[in-house]
């Protein structure tokens, strides 16, 4: 498994798992838990959740899935911006830990910019570190100007989680390079384009036909992930609700895209030629 290196020297796998919409359906619960556990076993040990997902239901399900695996997991959760005051961060982190059934997070992110002064949120994050409740903190949906503002407050941020897939390449113009220079890992969310049209695009199918994995012909989903993972300093967190999807995603790390593949994909999904405002879901 390829890895990315955090500012503090810790390395984590470049392919992890998302959990948005997980835990919302009783009928899918067992599959979702099995999928997360299979992913951890396959080395996709970064698990991303948020207090906002299903009003805590995602965290509760993750807690159940990792109950016997906590030490194998790099656990990430996020505070909702309206809760990101100094006191709010203390209270909401503890509530997340309770739902997750653990005493610490590896990484705690501010979900997106809030009305609370950034310096106050950062102070809250740093207090959580001092108290041993989180190892590191980071941000999400921060564009270049937000990262510049953060520079003036602290250099403690280790990750910036943003929308990045073939359909949303705006961050290639500036943010990806700037994150790298700051030694801030970019976490790519929705790397599969939420399982939508990206996976049926003819260019994706064409490139998939050129590749094999150890389990057989490559899929468009595997190409989408291999494309995001082609660069250093990027950690992708696809969400899979079934073991079938999970196993398929895990094998994406076997695929090396060629220059011809990249040209085919660039023609269908052109790279940005100018600054674009950060896309968000």
Cβ proximity to ligand NDP, 177 vs 241, nearer residue: 241
What is the sign, positive or negative, of the torsion defined by CA atoms of 33, 245, 247, 45? negative
The alpha-helical segments, DSSP class H, found in 141-201 are 144-151, 175-181
Segment 5 to 44, residues that bind ligand NDP, using CB under 6 A: 18-20
According to CB under 6 A, which residues from 85 to 104 bind ligand NDP?
Answer: none
Q: Is residue 246 a contact partner of residue 38, using CB atoms and an 8 Å limit?
A: yes
Query: How far apart, in whole angstroms, are the C-alpha atoms of residue 25 and residue 181?
Result: 41
User: What separation in angstroms does the CA of 15 have from each of 119, 179, 246, 255?
Assistant: 31, 18, 11, 13
Residue 27: CB atoms within 10 Å: 6
Under rule CB under 6 A, residue 48 binds ligand NDP: yes
| Lookup: tokens for 32 | 């979702």
Residue from 4, 192, 235, 251 that binds ligand NDP (CB under 6 A)?
Answer: 192
Closest CB to ligand NDP among 124 and 191? 191
For residue 265, state whether it binds ligand NDP (rule: CB under 6 A): no
Among residues 141, 201, 213, 253, which is the contact residue for ligand NDP, using CB under 6 A? 141
Contact status: 237 vs ligand NDP (CB under 6 A) = yes
In the complex with ligand NDP, the residue whose CB is nearer, 145 or 273, is 145
| Strand positions, DSSP E, 125-256 | 134-140, 157-163, 185-189, 212-213, 216-217, 234-236
Candidates 81-89, 114-122, 231-239, 260-268: pick the segment binding ligand NDP (CB under 6 A): 231-239
The site for ligand NDP (CB under 6 A) is made up of: 18-20, 48, 111, 140-141, 161, 189-195, 199, 221, 237-242, 245, 248-249, 281
């Amino acid at each position: 498994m390829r890895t990315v290196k955090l500012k503090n020297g810790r390395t984590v796998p470049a392919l992890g798992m998302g959990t948005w919409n997980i835990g919302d359906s009783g009928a899918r619960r067992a599959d979702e838990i099995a999928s997360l556990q299979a992913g951890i076993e396959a080395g996709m040990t970064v698990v991303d959740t948020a207090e906002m997902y299903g009003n805590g239901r995602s965290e509760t399900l993750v807690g159940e899935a990792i109950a016997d695996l906590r030490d194998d997991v790099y656990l990430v959760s996020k505070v909702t911006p309206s809760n990101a005051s100094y006191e709010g961060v203390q209270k909401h982190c503890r509530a997340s830990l309770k739902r997750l059934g653990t005493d610490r997070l590896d990484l705690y992110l501010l979900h997106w910019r809030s009305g609370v002064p950034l310096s106050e949120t950062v102070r809250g994050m740093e207090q959580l570190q001092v108290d041993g409740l989180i190892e590191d903190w980071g941000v999400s949906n921060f564009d270049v100007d937000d990262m510049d503002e953060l520079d003036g407050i602290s250099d403690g941020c280790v990750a910036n989680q943003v929308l990045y897939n073939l359909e949303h390449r705006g961050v290639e113009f500036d943010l990806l390079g700037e994150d790298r220079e700051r030694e801030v890992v970019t976490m790519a969310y929705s790397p599969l384009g939420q399982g939508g049209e990206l996976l049926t695009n003819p260019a994706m199918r064409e490139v998939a036909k050129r590749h094999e994995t150890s389990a057989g012909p490559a899929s468009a989903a595997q190409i989408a992930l291999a494309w995001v993972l082609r660069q250093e300093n990027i950690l992708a967190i696809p969400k899979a609700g079934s073991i079938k999807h999970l196993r398929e995603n895990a094998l994406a790390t076997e695929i090396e895209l060629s220059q011809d593949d990249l040209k085919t994909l660039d023609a269908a999904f052109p790279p940005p030629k100018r600054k674009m405002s950060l896309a968000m879901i």
